[in-house]
Every structure is written in C-alpha cells, then in structure tokens.
Structure 1
Amino acid sequence: MKVCAVIPVYNHGEAVGAVVHAVRSHGLPCLLVDDGSEPGCARVLDSLAEGDAAGVSVVRLPRNEGKGGAMMAGFKAAQAAGYSHALQIDADGQHDTGDIPRFVELAKGAPDKLVCGTPVYDESVPKGRLYGRYATHIWVWINTLSLAIRDSMCGFRVYPLAPTLALIDSVRIGKRMDFDVEVVVRLYWRGMGILNQPTRVRYPTDGISHFDVLWDNVRISRMHAKLFFGMLARLPLLLWRKVSS
C-alpha cells in the first residue's frame, strides 16, 4: 500500500502552504492539483514544489474544472506515479491534519474500503451549509438503502485508486461540488465498503469558499435525481445486499 495526498487548489494561496507542511509532517507525499488558479496562487504552488522536490509535485489544469475535475486529474496522476491510495484533503485548512494518521491506519487495515471523514463542527460552520447537508444525507441514505455513509460531502477521505479510477473511466461523474457525493454513492453501489472516521472541521482559514449557493445546489439536486433513478434500477441488488449483510 502506497499513499499520497491529493489536494485540489483553486486560489487558496494563503492557506495551502500550511496544509502542505502539515501533511508532509506526517510523511505523506503531496500532489497539488492547480485547478486554474490565478498567477499568484500558481507561484505559491510552484514554490512549495521547488522547496520540497522529493515530496511535493504539481499537476496544472489549464482552466478551472471544479473540485471533482481536479480530484479526478489528481487520482490519475497519483496512480501513474505508482500510488495505490490517495488521501483527499482540502487546501483551505478546514480539515484537521492531525487526524491523517487515523485515516491512513484505517485504510491500511482495510485497503479495499473507502475511508470517509465524518465532520465534527465547531462554531465557525455556516448554519445554512450545516442544515443543507442533512437534505443530502437523507437522499444518500435513500439512494443506497443504507446508513453506511454517515457523511457524503466531507472532502477528507482515503480512496483505493484502482476501483475508483475504474468507476471514473466507466461513468460520467460530476466535476464540481457534486463529485464528493456522487463518487461515494457509486462506489457503494459497486460493493465498496465504507469506513467512517470522525474528524474536526472548521471554516476556512482564508475566508474563501468556492461553493456556489445557486448553481452548486442545482447540480446537487440534479445529481440526487439521477442517483435516485439509478437506485431504482439497482433496487433488487441493493435489497439483497441489505438482507444478506
């Protein structure tokens, strides 16, 4: 098992350095995906890679693809570099890097499973975002006929790369904020086990959020509808899985 961190970056130049240094302190190589950032942020990423050539590399997308597009590009680059697993963590500092060893140890104990962060929020979380997550949780539980996925929106995870990329290569998955939800539901449909790891989350150190309240909610609503009809097509299999578990 060989793990690297994949960090999608879009104009988080002020926060990403601290995240990278924290990840590197736990011994993980970092693959930074520059998702069409402005030049100042791009220079920060290049500086991080130049200062730690053995442990930090940059994949640069020519235009902004969205979080999902950045993650998919990062997964492909990580596998090409010989990694078997990718730890996903956000660039804005909202995730508790002190929990990285727990995520990695869980993954090592069950390398065929997806380790998902379950957020423990502090007072910095926007209440609208917090309450809105529950609608997604309910849809995910419906679309999987299961409570196995405690939180489908947290971007702190460890993915087994081979089955994840097999899914990405065979199904069109949303490239923006809908990615985190859709990919975990579809991996579950394919039989992947889920491990849930509680982790503290705060909002964010640089004050930048790329969640578009209107269009990302539209995309997420469309995704839930698409997954619902996908669930209906898989209903016998999901019911059998539920009964036999």
Structure 2
Amino acid sequence: MSDFKPCILIPVYNHQHAIGAVLDALRPFNLPCLLIDDGSNAACRHTLSTLATEQADWLQVQHLPHNLGKGGAVMAGLCWAKQLGYSHAIQIDADGQHHTPDILQFIHAAQTQPNALIAGRPIYDASVPKGRLYGRYATHIWVWINTLSLQIQDAMCGFRVYPLATSCALIEREALGRRMEFDIEVMVRLHWADVPIVQLATPVQYPLDGVSHFALWRDNLLISRLHAKLFFGMLWRSPRLIARWFRA
C-alpha cells in the first residue's frame, strides 16, 4: 500500500536502563522510531539524546518539558507522527514488557485493515503481579458495559497500531485522560466512533528493569472515574450502539 507509512512510537519515562535493549530488538524491522521523553530525569534524557544522535538514521527524540503521564506522552507522539507524514504509529512500551517479534503480525493486520485500531490481547507469564492481573478483569467488565459489546477483549495493553487520521481527530475533539486511563478511554471512544478494533494475542512480561509507573491508588482512582464517565457517555449513545449490534 503506497499510502501505508508506519513508524514506531515509544513513550519513555525514566527507563534509561531498558530502552537500549528495546531499541536493539526493534532495529531489525527497519522502521523509523520516535521516542517521546515524558519529562524524564537527567540520566534518562541524556541516554535518549545519546541514542538519537548515535542512531540518527532511524531514531528521533522529542523531549517534553515536564511529565504529562503516559496518555499525554502518547498523544503528543501521535500528533508528532502525523505531522511527520506517517499514516500509522506502532506504540510499544519502553520497559521491554512487549514481545517485539509480534510487530510483524501487527503491521500485517494494519495493512489488511488500515482504518482499524490494532491492539494487543496480553498473554501473561508468571512475572506479572497478581493484583494487577486480577484488577484488569474489573476493567474488562466495565468496557463491555460501556460499549454494549464484547468486541474489546483487553483495553489496557499498550502494544498497538494507531491509524493516525482517526486517532488524532479524536484527540483534537475530546479531552482524553493523560495517565494510565488513556489506553482504556481512547479504545472505547474509537469503538464509539465506529473504528474497527482488531485484537491480537501477544505475550507480555513484567518490565525488564523492574520499573513500573502504575501508581496503585492514583491510577485505580482515575480508571474508576473514567468508567463512570464512560458509562454516562454510553447511555445517550446506547440506541446507536444497540442498532450497530443488531446490524452485526
């Protein structure tokens, strides 16, 4: 497809110890890579700047002036990618938890359905904390309620291919959550906007550097508030969502 022009997008916040190994795993795919430094500490900023200088043939970095949260960094990166002329952004986390060889099947799915959001459906190993794992099931149920559909099997995996035209249009018209609730909200709202959702099974392990930025109380509170907000958004959309279900 001549108009299919993907890039890799990685939000980074203080993952200076893992990002080098992640980039080494990604380089063989011969795709341009955009790093979004989400207000990291001096050591991480230096690491990212050094990597971008040494690997300027495929790597660029944008330093945000202060920490926006994962969602804020991803949104900044998606808009940057669109400005650079890319059609799709393959988001992958900086901590090494995602299975990089699966990028090939994600790209193939995006080429086959270029208007769809391609998202990972995690297969966890024993390294995942059980509390995080069980907490996801509550989100699954709320997402099914708020979409009146079982189509979204997992709304929290950050391994995705975003179609930039529709994703950036959504970012421009909606005030989306800027932290860990972003992954859930953007997927539900894209579903509401009738953007196809394709989910692919992919192994996920706990971060290589042991650093997780999920703040248990803060982010669970933000996610709970998001579910409530989406519920009321679903209510007035419900006739259209139900009609879509019957058509399907």
Q: Provide the TM-score with structure 1 as the length reference.
A: 0.99
Tell me the residue number matched to 1:138: 141
Tell me the residue number matched to 2:39: 36
**How much does 1:18 deviate?**
1.1
Tell me the residue number matched to 1:11: 14
Matched, 1:124 2:139: no
- Write the letter of the residue equivalent to 2:247: S
**How much does 1:148 deviate?**
0.8
Matched, 1:94 2:100: no
Please give the residue correspondences for 1:71-220 in structure 2 after superposition, counting only pairs within 5 Å: 71-220=74-223
**How much does 1:23 deviate?**
1.5
% identical equivalent positions: 58
**How much does 1:27 deviate?**
1.4
Structure 1 residue ranges (4+ consecutive) displaced by more than 4 angstroms after TM superposition: none
Matched, 1:243 2:246: yes
Q: Could you list the runs of 5+ residues in structure 2 that have no partner in the other structure?
A: none
For 2:25 and 2:58, locate their aligned partners in 1 and report how far apart those are by CA, in whole Å: 12
For 1:155 and 1:138, locate their aligned partners in 2 and report how far apart those are by CA, in whole Å: 19
Q: Tell me the C-alpha RMSD between the 2 structures.
A: 0.6
Q: Provide the TM-score with structure 2 as the length reference.
A: 0.98
For 1:69 and 1:20, locate their aligned partners in 2 and report how far apart those are by CA, in whole Å: 22
Please give the residue correspondences for 1:218-237 in structure 2 after superposition, counting only pairs within 5 Å: 218-237=221-240
**How much does 1:10 deviate?**
0.2
**How much does 1:142 deviate?**
0.5
For 1:21 and 1:165, locate their aligned partners in 2 and report how far apart those are by CA, in whole Å: 29
Tell me the residue number matched to 1:52: 55
For 1:170 and 1:198, locate their aligned partners in 2 and report how far apart those are by CA, in whole Å: 31
Paired residues in the alignment total: 245
- Write the letter of the residue equivalent to 1:234: R
